[in-house]
Each structure stands twice: as structure tokens, then as C-alpha cells.
Amino acid sequence: MSDYTNKTIIVTGASQGLGKCIVENILQKYNGSQVVLVARNHVLLTSFFNNLKDSDKERVLIIKGDVTDEETINLTIEKTFNKFGKIDGIIFNAGIIEPVGHLYESNFDVDGMKKLFDVNFFSIVKFLNKLLPEIKTNNNNNNNNNSNNNKKKSINIIFVSSGASTRGIDGWLAYGTSKAAVNALCKQIHDEMNEWVNCVSIAPGVVDTEMQHTIREKFVGKMKDESYQNFINLHEKGQLLDGMVVGATYARLIVEGIPENVRGSYIRWDSL
Ligand SMILES: NC(=O)c1ccc[n+]([C@@H]2O[C@H](COP(=O)([O-])OP(=O)(O)OC[C@H]3O[C@@H](n4cnc5c(N)ncnc54)[C@H](OP(=O)(O)O)[C@@H]3O)[C@@H](O)[C@H]2O)c1
């Protein structure tokens, strides 16, 4: 086990699926690191915490709340600084896929699309707008206080994107455009702040999670048959990816660092 001492990582959407797998990878592989889990489902989060070894409980902070709620964002930042003293990395993983629909349908759910954008995109914007000014101020103060050691402290950020951000999957307008916006946000942050923010937007492939279950159960008749059938086939042939395998890549990059050549980019999880 590698000892990456004292790295504090926040993972949003960590109650199940990929987010939970990322947290488990960090706890198992990086014994010096601490993790903050953010999600709404009290039952899942409490059960996760109760099943941890006592020594791991010290390394974990649970924030129960909705990422679109400003109070959740404030509490996450405040409690993380109080318990662990710093934030070294964040994985913006919380995401939803509905509503599904087409612009050529008169009942296309525009309000639902706005709500999806609140979760998949604007919650991230809000979170970073709370955190980055604080980190920038700390960096400036450190530089002023210690002119011999004026290297800026960097923060690692990983955005969980999707293949749907670069190609139009039938009916996934809301989801695909929100993930494309996330890729653009990543590029923008890199271009403006690469001296002290290292970020990358990573698509995880098709992972065996609740989101895939939702697609199979609820999207029949809402997407073109051929597009829908792709997801059924992947499931039936046992070709969905294991969250622990995919999560290992996110855990490694957030703790060990994001390679310089991919910072600011959109990449696939298996391209590194
Ligand atoms: N699975 C795939 O094939 C796949 C493919 C490409 C991209 N992705 C992306 O991977 C990420 C994780 O998805 P997943 O497949 O693991 O889905 P999942 O099993 O449905 O998990 C989604 C997670 O997001 C959290 N979440 C959703 N809305 C939230 C909100 N308003 N506030 C706080 N947490 C919220 C959920 O927690 P609570 O319900 O407890 O709040 C849950 O922990 C998403 O960004 C998704 O778009 C997944």
C-alpha cells in the first residue's frame, strides 16, 4: 500500500455507484489519505460508514445533502477544513441522466433539463466559486509571508464526464450537453488557473451502476430502439465495466496527481 500522507479528497455523489467505488479505492490503496463523501441518501451513507474499520472511520467525513443546495456546499468546505485542515482534491462525480427526450417533441421537458444542469453543472460552478477564492487568498498570503518559498500550492480536480459529451446519444440532449459543458468548464479553468489548479475531465465508459439500471428500466420507447438495445446488449453480454476497476483510475489521479499532458482535457478513463 502506498503512503500518500495526508491527502484530503472530496468525492461528490459517493453514496453508491462510481463515486462509492472511488472512495473505496482511495481508502484501500492510500492509507495516508482522508475522504469526504457528499450525497443525499442517508441510509446508504450511514451504512457505508458503519461498515468501515474503526481506523478508517477516522479518515472519513460524511456530508449528507444535495449538491445543488448552497448549504451542502458551505458545510462540505467548512467541515472538511475543520476536520482535516485542507482540501487537496475534489472529484465532481454526482450526476443524473433524466430527463430523456427530443427537441422535436412538443412536451420536451425544458424545466427538467434545467434541473439536470443544476446537478450536473451548476452545482460544480457554485462549489468552485466558494472554494477557489479561499484557496487563492491562502496562496497569496503564503507567498507574501515567505518570499523564499513562493511556490503556489495546487489543487487537483477531476470532473466525471461521459462519452455522451462528445457524441449525440439518441434522446440524451440534457445529459450530453451538461457533460459537454463540464468539459468546457475544465478547459476554461485550466486556461485561467493552471498555475495552481490541475484538472481533467474523464469519461468512465459504461459502468455497472444504478444509472445503467435506470437506462434499462425506464428508457425503453424513449430512445431509438437501436440506441436503447446497445445498453441491453452490454448488460446481457456481461460487458458493463466494474466500478472498482474504473474507480481505481480516478483514485490514482486524484491522489498521486494528474499528468501534465492531459490537464484541461477531456479523456477516457482507460487512456492513461
Ligand atoms: N454508469 C455509467 O455508465 C456512466 C457513464 C458515463 C458517465 N457516468 C457518470 O458517472 C457519475 C456517477 O454515476 P453512476 O453511474 O455511479 O450513477 P449512480 O449509481 O446513479 O450514482 C449517482 C450518484 O450521484 C449522487 N447524486 C445524484 N444527484 C445528487 C444530488 N443532487 N446531490 C448529491 N448527490 C447526488 C447519488 O447520490 P444520492 O442519490 O445519495 O444523492 C449517487 O451517489 C455521474 O456523473 C454519471 O453521469 C456514468
CB contact at 8 A, 94 and 123: yes
Residue 161's pLDDT band (cuts 50, 70, 90): very high
User: Helix, strand, or coil here: 200?
Assistant: strand
- Residue 152 annotated among the catalytic residues of the structure: no
Of the pLDDT bands very low, low, confident and very high (cuts 50, 70, 90), residue 1 is low
* Angstrom distance (rounded) from CA 68 to CA 156: 21
Q: Which of 161, 165, 178, 201 is catalytic?
A: 161
Ligand 1 centre to CA of 17 (Å) is: 7
- C-alpha 215 to ligand 1 mean position (Å): 13
pLDDT value at position 141?
81
Is 86 assigned a catalytic role? no
Rounded to whole angstroms, how far apart are CA atoms 172 and 163? 11
Question: What does DSSP assign to residue 261?
Answer: G
Residues with CB under 6 A from ligand 1: 12-19, 39-41, 44, 66-68, 93-96, 119, 160, 162, 203-204, 206-207, 209-212
**pTM above threshold 0.85:** yes
- Site of grid cell 452490454: 234
Query: In terms of Cα–Cα distance, which of 270, 266, 249 is closest to 21?
Result: 249
What does the pLDDT look like over 131-154, one tens digit per residue? 999 999 888 887 677 554 555 678
Q: Is the dihedral of CA 241, 269, 251, 192 positive or negative?
A: negative
User: pLDDT digit string (tens) for 4-27?
Assistant: 668 999 999 999 999 999 999 999
Q: What does the block give as the cell for 246?
A: 474504473
